[in-house]
Structure 1
Amino acid sequence: MKYFWLILLVSVVVGASIGWTTNYVQYASKPAFFGEIDYTGNITSDNVMEHLKQFHSDSGAVAEVEDSATHDFGAMPPSTKGKHTFVIKNVGSEPLTLELGATTCKCTLGSLEDSSVAPGETTSVELEWTVASDKTTFEQSAELRTNDPARPAIRLMVVGRIIRDIEFEPDLITFGNVTVGDSFELSTKFFSFMDDKIKIKAGEFSNEAFTPLAEFEAQEYDPKDGDTAHAHAKQAFDIKVNVKPGLRQGPLSTRMIVVFTKVDENGEPMGDELYGTTEIAGKVVGPLSMLQNTYVKTTENGSYFWNLGRLGPDDKLEYKALLALKGSEKDATNLSIGESYPAGVVSAELGKPIGREETRLFPIILKLTASEETIDLLGKNEDDFGWVWIESDNPKVGRMRIAVKVLIEPRQ
Structure 2
Amino acid sequence: MSMRAWVVVVLAAVVGTATGAYMAHWRVTSLPWDGTPEGAKIHLSTDEAAKLNVSSVPDDGVPEVVVDHTEYNFGLMDSSATGRHEFTFTNKGTGTLKLSKGHTTCKCTMANFEHAEVPPGQSTKVTLEFKGQGFSGPYKQTATVITNDPKQPQVELMVAGRIIPILRAVPSEVSFTGISAGAPVTRTVDLFGYVDTPLQITGFELADKKTAEMFEIKTEPIKPEVLAKEAGAKSGVQLSVTVKPGLPVGAFKQTIHLSTNLEGAPHHDLEVSGNVVSDLVIVGARWDEERSLLGIGTVSSKEEVSRRLILIARGKYRDQVKLKIAEVWPDLLKVEFEPPVAVGETIRQFPIVIRIPKGTPPANYLGSEAAQTGRIVLETNHPDAPKMLIRVGFAVEN
Q: Shorter-normalised TM-score: what interval? A: 0.3 to 0.5
TM-score (norm 1): 0.42
> Larger Cα Rg: Structure 1 or Structure 2?
2
